[in-house]
Amino acid sequence: MKLLTTAQTRQADAATVAAQGISSLDLMERAATVFTDWLTARLSPAQAGEILVLCGPGNNGGDGLAVARLLHLRGYDVRVGLLPAERYSPEAAANRRQLPSDLPVAEWQPGQLPAIAPGTVVIDALFGTGLNRPLEGAAATVVRHLNAARARVISIDMPSGLFADAPQPPGSAVVQARHTVTFEHPKLALLLPGSAAYVGRWHALPIGLDADFLAGAETDMHLVDAGLLAGRLPARPTFAHKGSFGHALLLAGSRGKMGAAVLAARACLRGGAGLLTVAAPSGGLDVLQTAVPEAMCRPDEGKSYLTSLPALQPYAAAGIGPGIGQHDDTRAVLEELLCLAPAAQVPLVLDADALNLLGANRGLLDLLPPESMLTPHPREFERLTEPARDDYHRLALLRDFARRYHCYVLLKGAYSCLAAPDGQLYFNTTGNPGMATGGSGDVLTGLLLALRADRRLSPLDAALLGIYAHGRAGDLAAAEQGQAGLIAGDLPRYLGRALQELTTPDELA
């Protein structure tokens, strides 16, 4: 699924109208019907109580007026609040004329705003994706009045006042919705942490936009879903053996942080690595061989931290970072790995303290082998680059970093974003807040290492499969454990199921 800009969304609407021989009013009716179906499937008239539909003068207001009519015809108790305006769009004016005579409609004047009882279902149809400046005057007053009401707010397409694909001006008035129902494709703002307080949960509903236009639309932003990953993970051959899927090397652990090595090792094995060797401080040998008996261990001469690098020739990929600490000797191991990996043709996965060491020693960045994978959280990424002014600046830094160092950078978050060396961005759709717990990143590192060691996969496929399967394992775990009770140690047990869902079946068809 592609992420489209505001301009491309308007073009998609126009292309649909032209290709399908319908009017823009017909397309608006289609969107309103889809929204109404979504809402009525979740709330009966008794559960909803009185529904307030707040409508602006543009096409988003036209959507709201159509929704108000459809809800009224289905037996819901609806009233409409109109934002005063000198002019309404043709579609909004047409839908206002179609309102039943017994449906209450009132203009909301800033000095005479009616009270909104807590818990009232409010449909926000004031402004949509076409907004290009902050709300002011009566519109801003209405939005702030709504936000103070503690209502159950559902925004149509976008929370009113929120820019779809540009930084939000500080202090601007934006509706704080519990749910945002958008159409066909989500907008970029819905995926960014700075918008979370306004968006709530978003839902993208199909409305039959022109498939040819969508297929041909050029974009450098995509959603990672099962459809994008179809055909990327081949089934295992009948005569496969443990050498068929790569021998992975994991450099992990230090005194007090051997749990990180255990989590990454388990994830690597559950992620499909044929063989795994863990290089770890000798003081953690008993922990590793007890907790992960399937892994081979290479005890370092250092008892508490890594001091040396194994020969790389036996390995198909190497991962470094989980729990290694930041001792000078460990930094030297990282530097040696960066220098020797290209000649040995061993691709790298770097996380956690490996990233912190890079951030503290920026000169090491120039040694990054092409197609390395880095998995920072936002704070770690700032140490590699600079503090971001806003979410959009952070994405620009992410894209520039991936291009400059020709690497894959996975910025972790609710919608983890993978930047590829060609500047394409991929936002993941799996995962849940239960995964916000210590050790989840170590599991991701181990899984990516396993997939990177599988030479059947391209670097991009390995990265996309890894981030999706990691989040999917979290969703499977949360379904059984609950989000609050989920711990990182639960995740490896579900990786096999998550990957199996993505495996291409060996069928004649």
Give the pLDDT confidence of 346-398 residue by residue, as tens digits: 999 999 999 999 999 999 999 999 999 999 999 999 999 999 999 999 999 99
Strand partners, 234: 504
Cα separation, 68 vs 193, in Å, equals: 31
In the predicted structure, residue 130 carries a pLDDT above the cut 90: no
Cα separation, 189 vs 260, in Å, equals: 33
In the predicted structure, residue 257 carries a pLDDT above the cut 70: yes
Contact between residue 52 and residue 124 where contact means Cβ atoms under 8 Å apart:
no
Confidence of residue 506 (pLDDT cuts 50, 70, 90): low
C-alpha of 138 from chain center: 34
Cα separation, 451 vs 232, in Å, equals: 11
Q: Which two tokens stand for residue 405?
A: 């160092």
**Across residues 170-184, what is the average pLDDT?**
96
In the predicted structure, residue 102 carries a pLDDT above the cut 60: yes
In the predicted structure, residue 504 carries a pLDDT above the cut 90: no
Alpha helix positions (H), 230-327: 258-270, 285-291
In the predicted structure, residue 509 carries a pLDDT above the cut 50: no
Contact between residue 451 and residue 271 where contact means Cβ atoms under 8 Å apart:
yes
In the predicted structure, residue 296 carries a pLDDT above the cut 70: yes
Q: What is the CA radius of gyration of the chain?
A: 26
Cα separation, 430 vs 444, in Å, equals: 13
What does pTM read for this prediction?
A: 0.95
Interstrand relation of 408-411 and 417-419 (parallel, antiparallel or unpaired): antiparallel
At residue 211, the pLDDT reads 95
Q: Which two tokens stand for residue 330?
A: 């460990």
Confidence of residue 131 (pLDDT cuts 50, 70, 90): confident
- Residue indicated by tokens 């060609």: 422
Residue 105 to residues 50, 53, 395: CA-CA distances in angstroms?
13, 9, 43
- Residue indicated by tokens 């068929």: 244
pLDDT above 70: percentage of residues in the chain? 99
In the predicted structure, residue 66 carries a pLDDT above the cut 70: yes
Query: What is residue 80's DSSP assignment?
Result: E
**Across residues 118-129, what is the average pLDDT?**
96
For residue 280, which of 325, 229, 343 has the smallest C-alpha distance?
325
* Widest distance between CA atoms in the chain: 84
At residue 270, the pLDDT reads 98
Cα separation, 284 vs 109, in Å, equals: 69
Mean pLDDT of the chain: 96
- Rounded to 10 degrees, what is the CA torsion of 12, 17, 19, 20? 130
In the predicted structure, residue 318 carries a pLDDT above the cut 60: yes
Contact between residue 52 and residue 108 where contact means Cβ atoms under 8 Å apart:
no
pLDDT above 90: percentage of residues in the chain? 96
| Identity at 252, one-letter amino acid code | A
Using DSSP's 3-state secondary structure scheme, residue 1 falls into: coil
Q: Which two tokens stand for residue 424?
A: 């394409």
For residue 255, which of 296, 307, 318 has the smallest C-alpha distance?
307
In the predicted structure, residue 179 carries a pLDDT above the cut 90: yes
Cα separation, 434 vs 448, in Å, equals: 20
Question: Where do the structural domains in the chain lie, given as residue ranges?
Answer: 6-219, 228-502
Strand partners, 80: 53, 105
Name the CATH architecture for the domain at 6-219.
3-Layer(aba) Sandwich (3.40)
Q: How many residues does the chain have?
A: 509
In the predicted structure, residue 328 carries a pLDDT above the cut 90: yes
At residue 508, the pLDDT reads 45
Contact between residue 252 and residue 291 where contact means Cβ atoms under 8 Å apart:
no
Of the CA atoms within 13 Å of residue 385, those in its CB half-sphere come to 24
For residue 268, which of 2, 496, 35, 32 has the smallest C-alpha distance?
496
C-alpha of 133 from chain center: 26
Q: Is the dihedral of CA 381, 385, 387, 391 positive or negative?
A: negative
Least confident of 9-18, 234-243, 260-269: 234-243
Cα separation, 253 vs 276, in Å, equals: 15
At residue 132, the pLDDT reads 85
Query: What is residue 434's DSSP assignment?
Result: G
Q: How many other CB atoms are there within 10 angstroms of residue 67's CB atom? A: 28
Report the topology of domain 228-502.
Answer: UDP-N-acetylmuramoyl-L-alanine:D-glutamate ligase (3.40.1190)
Query: What is residue 236's DSSP assignment?
Result: P
Confidence of residue 507 (pLDDT cuts 50, 70, 90): low
In the predicted structure, residue 219 carries a pLDDT above the cut 80: yes
Strand partners, 211: none
Cα separation, 501 vs 470, in Å, equals: 12
